[in-house]
A = this chain, B = another copy of it.
């Protein structure tokens, strides 16, 4: 049996060393440490393709750069995320920012034109610039049939120096799947065009084949789920209908007991054929904005 080693921290300690030390403690810190180890195995396995699922407002939460850096360093093969994250990413690419708010008055924010996301604010006028973007570029979108191609086209259109998830995926040829894109600001901008009489050919089911095919041909697979939601489930079902994952890291604050997919521990996936019986995996019950920098700093 392995002993718990009390963690010894110091002012000049590196994050990597802290996380290695956490692996020797208990409770959640142990799990942060195990997640970093599993990420090391996942990323150093040459046969392994990595599926990253990102729910939750990770861009307003300040996690954009970390995701971009993982993509630029070629650690990620498939990204599945929410329309909200991509909308925030696009808004920042168009020059907008998010802002801190440690206390709040939502009626006042409404009057002043700010939208609140817990302790972060976005200016409501981002929608004007988003609308311009889609209005100006509509002709380039109108014949696209897949959501991932639409997102790739948006990435292509952004300035080359754009510090954006959409741009990083475009440059690195990482497909972005977003089955619920209609459920987002980007979706709303497209609705605006449709309401103005334009048409679009993007199908609701056209992307499924690509992700399931890619899962089929990937010999070994690693999954990283942040926050659960549609991104997790869309990867999980692609594994279910191809072959199971060999590595898994889940970061969520949801409880398993409610029965929802977001809180379901990875081990449940074994019953569905989504996780190999001999897989390496860990469930980290932690705010992703805290866990992500700890687990992934060593790779960046």
Give the interface of A toward B (CB within 8 A).
1-16, 18, 21-22, 24-32, 34, 55-57, 59-66, 69, 84, 97-102, 104, 106-107, 109-110, 114-121, 124, 147, 163, 179-185, 187-188, 190-191, 194-195, 200-209, 212, 227, 229-230, 233-234, 237, 240-241, 253-262, 264, 267-273, 277, 285-291, 293-294, 296-300
Residues on B with beta carbons closer than 8 Å to the beta carbon of A107? 270-271, 277
Q: Are A6 and B62 in contact (CB under 8 A)?
A: yes
Cα-based distance from A39 to B199 in the complex (angstroms): 39
Q: Name 21 interchain pairs, CB-CB below 8 A, sorted by A.
A: A4-B62, A6-B64, A9-B65, A11-B297, A18-B294, A26-B98, A27-B62, A27-B120, A29-B293, A31-B119, A55-B260, A106-B267, A106-B270, A188-B240, A190-B205, A191-B205, A200-B203, A200-B205, A255-B255, A286-B286, A290-B290
Q: Are A203 and B203 in contact (CB under 8 A)?
A: yes
Cα-based distance from A61 to B256 in the complex (angstroms): 13
Cα-based distance from A84 to B229 in the complex (angstroms): 12
Copies in the complex: 4
Cα-based distance from A227 to B280 in the complex (angstroms): 29
- 17 more CB-based (< 8 A) A-B contacts, given A55-B260, A116-B271, A255-B255: A4-B61, A4-B120, A7-B65, A9-B69, A11-B300, A14-B14, A22-B289, A26-B117, A29-B287, A30-B62, A32-B290, A120-B259, A121-B271, A124-B273, A179-B183, A182-B205, A253-B254
Residues on B with beta carbons closer than 8 Å to the beta carbon of A65? 6-9
Candidate in A9, A14, A121, A209 with the most chain B CB atoms within 10 angstroms: A9
Q: Are A100 and B4 in contact (CB under 8 A)?
A: yes
Q: Are B260 and A22 in contact (CB under 8 A)?
A: no
A84-B120 contact in complex given A259-B56, A270-B110, C-beta closer than 8 Å:
no
